[in-house]
């Protein structure tokens, strides 16, 4: 039984790590349920939360009513399209380590991370809006 649980956990992590789509728990569940038909959506949620606590995955936040996740825990930002809900990686981060240190010092904080999200229209949705004009 314990071995089976570990394989499910591994499948959940692999599903998140093997995509760039910033998946929801529901997406992960759909990807692995054929291989693990006895897995529940609650198990997927529980393990994603655990991976976030361990720093192996991070939550991007709620997009169109679903929490989205990212296995890339390196310093980067995200852009979320308000129209289609696409979550895109932005490799740059607007804060250098020095800027975060200065910000922390100004407010008496030890800043260990920053999560920056930009929003608007992705390239595809912006093109659709321009074509309607």
Same domain, 68 and 82: no
**Domain CATH for 21:** 1.10.10.10
**Domain CATH for 102:** 3.30.1490.190
Same domain, 12 and 66: yes
Same domain, 41 and 90: no
Whole domain around residue 118: which residue ranges?
A: 74-133
Tens of pLDDT, residue by residue over 16-71, are: 999 999 999 999 999 999 999 999 999 999 999 999 999 999 999 999 999 999 99
- Three-state SS string across the chain, please? CHHHHHHHHHHHHHHHHCCCCCCEHHHHHHHHCCCCCCCCHHHHHHHHHHHHHHCCCEEEEEECCEEEEECCCCCCEEEEECCCCCEEEECCCCCCHHHHHHHHHHHCCCCCCCCCEEEECCHHHHHHHHHHC
Least confident of 15-24, 77-86, 95-104, 120-129: 95-104
Domain count, the chain: 2
pLDDT of 82 higher than 60: yes
Same domain, 23 and 78: no
Same domain, 3 and 47: yes
Report the pLDDT value the prediction gives residue 52, as an integer from 0 to 100.
96
Same domain, 78 and 63: no
Tens of pLDDT, residue by residue over 101-110, are: 999 999 999 9
pLDDT-based confidence at residue 114 (cuts at 50, 70, 90):
confident
């Amino acid at each position: 039984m314990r071995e089976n649980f570990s394989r499910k956990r591994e499948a959940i992590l692999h599903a998140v790590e093997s995509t760039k789509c910033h998946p929801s728990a529901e997406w992960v569940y759909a990807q692995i349920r054929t291989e693990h038909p006895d897995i529940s959506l609650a198990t997927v949620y529980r393990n994603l939360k655990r991976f976030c606590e361990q720093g192996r995955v991070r939550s991007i936040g709620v997009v169109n009513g679903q929490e989205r996740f990212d296995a890339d825990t390196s310093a980067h930002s995200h852009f979320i399209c308000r129209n289609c809900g696409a979550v895109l990686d932005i490799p740059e981060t607007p804060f250098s380590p020095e800027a975060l240190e200065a910000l922390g010092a100004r407010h008496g904080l030890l800043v260990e991370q920053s999560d920056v999200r930009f929003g608007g229209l992705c390239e595809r949705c912006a093109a659709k809006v321009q074509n309607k004009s």
